[in-house]
Amino acid sequence: QDYDKGDFKHFMAKEIEEQPTTLKNCINEYVDKINNDINIYNFPWNIKEISSVTLIGCGTAYHSCLMAKYWFEENTTLEVTIDIASEFRYRKNRFKDDNLYIFVSQSGETADTYAALDLCNKNNMKTCSVVNVIESSIARDSNFVLPIHCGQEIGVASTKAFMGQMLVLYILVLKLGILRKDLDKDLYLNKIKDLKLLPKLVEQTLLTESKIQTVSSSFTDAKGSMFLGRGFSYPIALEGALKLKELAYVHAEGYPAGEMKHGPLALIEDGMPVVVLAPRDNYYKKTISNMQEVIARGAKVLLITNKSKDEVFSENIWETVLVESANDDLLPFLLTVPLQKLAYYSALKKGYDIDKPRNLAKSVTVE
Ligand code: G6P
């Protein structure tokens, strides 16, 4: 396939920069430009047949499942569970006919995710997959496929595919929300209008480059680091930590900010870099107060929040990175961008193999 790095040093850098385009392409595939409606053609089930959803994936794909759980709960009345494929497949599952099983996988070939899908198929469950590679085993064997349309991803650590998975899951959430009448029509239309602005907002957020580059050396040299967030920002904290582990080989823990007191606070030492995701959503005040707790214990806090007229009133923040503002649902996409860059530059400083980190594979086709 004709896919090269162009002017970029690494595929990962290229794939990060491509995101405004891949998101736009994907929105164009699903959103009707004229009616502001979402088109999901040939959905094989009657909406009344579905009363709950289970999302399953591995690695980064699992994080998009967790993200989708928050969106489903916010925008629909569906009951939602999520699972890691290698756990789901060995547990005693209570299969339910009115449950939709959604498998998320960039490659569509991950062995555990496939096995989980196979198990559901053998139990005659409703299966749907969110994949990048449409010729894959997972796509082939699921009842219904939602492609993420982001083009080939070469970097082992997923970037544009993560964004694509979140996008398609969010689109599905809105569509099910309106079909089930959980979402009010005006709200639905407004959310679609906002969604169309997302590629531009991601493009603007990509410009946070230089600050991230500067702070990355603190992460490179750290013994460990932490990524904190609440609510919609919690899955992104997990993903940010995973990216840093995968690429820069630095121990990184993603944690719900409110859980810090129950253990991880003991790990905070003088000078430890801690990323705090605190967009100005409903959790903002709570997260800022958790941030103050870690600062008081000596952490060097990199605060990532969205632009606003009001400054953040808190002392001793080491660095702040501002992403664009958007409605709460969309902030996770914007918070993801600086975290991708943080991992990238941390690995770059060490001279590690960014596109092929040690011990990892793009697609894990063995158990
Ligand atoms: C590997 C990759 C990750 C990916 C995970 C799941 O660990 O390195 O980037 O998130 O597999 O892969 P999938 O293709 O199923 O999304």
Q: What is the pLDDT of residue 1?
A: 45
- At 157, the amino acid letter reads A
Q: What is the pLDDT of residue 305?
A: 96
| Strands 99-105 and 126-131, bridge-based pairing | parallel
> What digits encode the pLDDT tens for the residues 156-171?
999 999 999 999 999 9
Closest by CA to 96, choosing from 146, 44, 43, 53, is 53
Residue 143 · residue 126 · CB < 8 Å? yes
Q: Is 362 in the pocket of ligand 1 (CB under 6 A)?
A: yes
Q: Is 61 in the pocket of ligand 1 (CB under 6 A)?
A: yes
Burial state string for 211-223 with b = 16 or more CB within 10 A and e = fewer than 16: bbbebbebbbebe
Burial state string for 98-114 with b = 16 or more CB within 10 A and e = fewer than 16: ebbbbbbbbbbbbbbbb
Find the 57 Cα to ligand 1 centroid distance in Å.
9
Q: Which residues pair with 30 in a beta bridge?
A: none
Q: What angle do CA 12, 17, 19 make, to 5 degrees?
A: 100
C-alpha distance from residue 366 to each of 110, 132, 279 (Å): 8, 19, 39
Find the 218 Cα to ligand 1 centroid distance in Å.
27
From 60, 67, 243, 354, the mutation candidate for ligand 1 (largest count of ligand atoms within 8 A of CB) is 60
Find the 65 Cα to ligand 1 centroid distance in Å.
13
Which phi and psi (to 5°) does residue 61 adopt?
A: -60, -35
Q: Is 360 in the pocket of ligand 1 (CB under 6 A)?
A: yes
ipTM score for this prediction: 0.97
Q: Is 158 in the pocket of ligand 1 (CB under 6 A)?
A: yes
Q: What share of the chain is helix, strand, coil (3-state, %, to 5)?
A: 50, 15, 35
This prediction's pTM: 0.97
**Which residue shows structure tokens 């980064």?**
60
**Within the chain, which residues score under 70 in pLDDT?**
1-2
| Strands 79-84 and 52-57, bridge-based pairing | parallel
Cα(25)–Cα(28) distance, rounded to whole angstroms?
Answer: 5
Q: Is 131 in the pocket of ligand 1 (CB under 6 A)?
A: no
Q: Is 58 in the pocket of ligand 1 (CB under 6 A)?
A: yes
DSSP H helices, 221-308, are: 234-248, 284-296
> What digits encode the pLDDT tens for the residues 323-335?
999 999 999 999 9
Strands (E), 307-348: 319-323
Q: What is the pLDDT of residue 208?
A: 79
Atom of ligand 1 nearest to the CA of 133: 14
Residue 362 falls in the annotated catalytic set? yes
Residue 176 · residue 47 · CB < 8 Å? yes
Find the 106 Cα to ligand 1 centroid distance in Å.
7
